[in-house]
Chain A
């Protein structure tokens, strides 16, 4: 026998999101333009760049919250339909956000209802899927509080009585309780103390692996991007200037701007 016996691994994953020539501009080079990429199932794609580079605008367009001026976003849904995100109705887009996607905001106040209990915050998304059984909703709430390392005994407390890090973990529990296929995260560890950040990063990594999530992650923190993302898009002045494997972008950046970005941080 004179041939390799090494079986070829399956290197392809089904596509989840196809982004074609998307532009959304507020002014010259403000917003995002000519964005093209494909997100595969099980991938964590990081979008990095400075404030004002357009990464949050792009995330809003991808998440169905802001129509692009040009281009389109195709989502390959759980039942194998391909949906042109801005050709379908507003109601259908909202249903996607409720049923198949999750959105984690930088500020937990934008993703939580601060006045109602932690348990109700978690149960609300399940109720939107049609679950009505009080005992099951409460059990799911307690289970998920445990998964994000919150004391399940505080299920009846309102999030406004929680610290910032606890609120962010509650937002993650609220978002993931419905087992979304695709999660959009906007600076999920921004604005938190470093020790709280480390705990949250570890938690997000573990949940992504265990639930097989696909994620689009916006962050300006290259260390966060290195820990969480498989692939990176680097944005500058509304355009993607470099894209590739996370390790390659950070260890062998090709574009002048990426080189500047990487050489400017203390620990990428």
Chain B
């Protein structure tokens, strides 16, 4: 199988206008290839900005230079210059994202938060609810919480709602930003199982996992990032600052 995602010579910087136009380079010359059914784990020191890459792949961050291409059956799609209106359908159908924290929509119940990616595609509400409940129950979220808005849930409970919302859409490309960070062993094992099932369906995954044990269970390859990423507070040696 050929690559589903190719990243070539990607650079990222921020220009902080409020601080006299200070320019920070946070990503330097990063390339990668990801195939269907493969889980690539981002490796590198803690705090160097591994999420930056996921945010660029999801459109939250603009690339300064380089290329991000998705490979469809009829040819590649370049994401670095994708018009803003095309991101919405692309995220709905192709790229899923489990962020580190759940962005809480006030007043919407946990089960509806999880159903939403399917409803956005016009799925039948009953089917979507059944799938959402199956996932929440696999992730051991107590049934009495399903009808409550997750705003008041604990960090671990919110994270499980977030994971269920991320996996329910079965996107072909899934970005995972520390999905197991605040989970206990039983729920970590459940997330590992979800990742293995996604792989078996051919999902390509790019993830950040701090837990050594989870990493060794899910990673097909590691992508070393220490030479390509810099925390926003430091500068690359030899680069003009």
* A is bound by B: yes
Tell me the A residues contacting B by CB distance below 8 Å. Answer: 1-13, 38, 40, 43, 198-199, 201-202, 205, 209, 226-227, 230-231, 243-245, 247-248, 251-252, 254-256, 259-260, 263
User: Which residues does chain A contribute within 8 Å of B103, judged by CB atoms?
Assistant: 226
A231/B85 in contact, CB under 8 A: yes
User: Which residues does chain B contribute within 8 Å of A13, judged by CB atoms?
Assistant: 85, 89
A7/B72 in contact, CB under 8 A: yes
The one of B4, B59, B107 in contact with A247, judged by C-beta atoms closer than 8 angstroms, is: B59
| Cα distance A127–B121 in the bound complex, in angstroms | 33
* Interface residues of B, count at CB 8 A: 42
For residue B1, CB closer than 8 A to chain A, the reply is yes
The one of B93, B108, B120 in contact with A9, judged by C-beta atoms closer than 8 angstroms, is: B93
Q: A5-B73, A8-B72, A259-B17 are in contact. Are A202 and B87 (CB under 8 A)?
A: no
User: Which residues does chain A contribute within 8 Å of B94, judged by CB atoms?
Assistant: 6, 9
The one of B77, B89, B92, B106 in contact with A202, judged by C-beta atoms closer than 8 angstroms, is: B106
B73/A7 in contact, CB under 8 A: yes
Contact with A along B14-26 (1 / 0, CB 8 A): 1111100000000
B88 to chain A, nearest CB (A): 5
Closest to B83 in A: A11
The one of B1, B16, B77, B107 in contact with A8, judged by C-beta atoms closer than 8 angstroms, is: B77
The one of A6, A43, A255 in contact with B72, judged by C-beta atoms closer than 8 angstroms, is: A6
Q: A9-B89, A247-B60, A259-B17 are in contact. Are A3 and B106 (CB under 8 A)?
A: no
A248/B73 in contact, CB under 8 A: no
A27 to chain B, nearest CB (A): 27
For residue B86, CB closer than 8 A to chain A, the reply is yes
Q: List 16 A-B contacts (CB under 8 A).
A: A1-B1, A4-B4, A6-B4, A6-B71, A6-B73, A8-B72, A8-B73, A8-B77, A10-B89, A11-B89, A13-B85, A231-B84, A243-B84, A247-B59, A247-B60, A254-B62
| Cα distance A248–B88 in the bound complex, in angstroms | 12
B60/A9 in contact, CB under 8 A: no
Tell me the B residues contacting A by CB distance below 8 Å. Answer: 1-4, 14-18, 36, 55, 58-62, 70-75, 77, 82, 84-90, 92-94, 103, 105-108, 119-120, 172
| Cα distance A209–B2 in the bound complex, in angstroms | 36
A207 to chain B, nearest CB (A): 13
User: Which residues does chain B contribute within 8 Å of A247, judged by CB atoms?
Assistant: 58-60
| Cα distance A239–B154 in the bound complex, in angstroms | 43
User: Which residues does chain A contribute within 8 Å of B2, judged by CB atoms?
Assistant: 2-4
User: Which residues does chain B contribute within 8 Å of A260, judged by CB atoms?
Assistant: 17-18
Q: A8-B73, A9-B89, A209-B120 are in contact. Are A199 and B4 (CB under 8 A)?
A: no
B165 to chain A, nearest CB (A): 15
